[in-house]
Structure 1
Amino acid sequence: MPGQRKRKRKRQQREERAGHWEVVFNTQDEAEWLAFNHRFMSGREAPDPSMIRVDIFCGRLAQPTGYQLSLFVPA
């Protein structure tokens, strides 16, 4: 499709200028995750919820569940 590469490149450049996600905490222990999450939200000024990303990676028999908290860092 004509112009698709150019549109894709421009979209990627806009996204790069906006900022990036920085991992703050990463664990596979649910109790540790809950304790950190509680301290993070109550210990200081809680960041804007739109600037927080929580990833929970589903575990299976061979791999445990993973928990990750990231903050958006504006460029």
Structure 2
Amino acid sequence: MIFETRDQAELRACMRSLQEARVDQATIRIDTLCGRLTQPTTYRLSRFITDG
């Protein structure tokens, strides 16, 4: 996991910084954890790393 937030604007800013750093976008995964009424929605940014 690279980054986790409840704010979509922070998620977009993190994605922009990764693009500027020329991180391969095919290795990025965004998960949206829906909390419904008990927890707020959380956005999690992860990066796939090859074994080896």
Query: TM-score normalised by the shorter chain: which range applies?
Result: 0.7 to 0.9
Report percent identity of matched pairs: 39
The structure richer in helix per residue is 1
Count, aligned residues = 51
* Runs of at least 4 residues off by over 3 Å: none
Unaligned runs of 5+ in 1: 1-22
Q: Normalized against structure 2, the TM-score is what?
A: 0.74
- Greater CA radius of gyration, 1 or 2? 1
What RMSD over aligned residues (CA atoms) do the two structures have, in Å? Answer: 1.5
Q: Normalized against structure 1, the TM-score is what?
A: 0.57
Unaligned runs of 5+ in 2: none
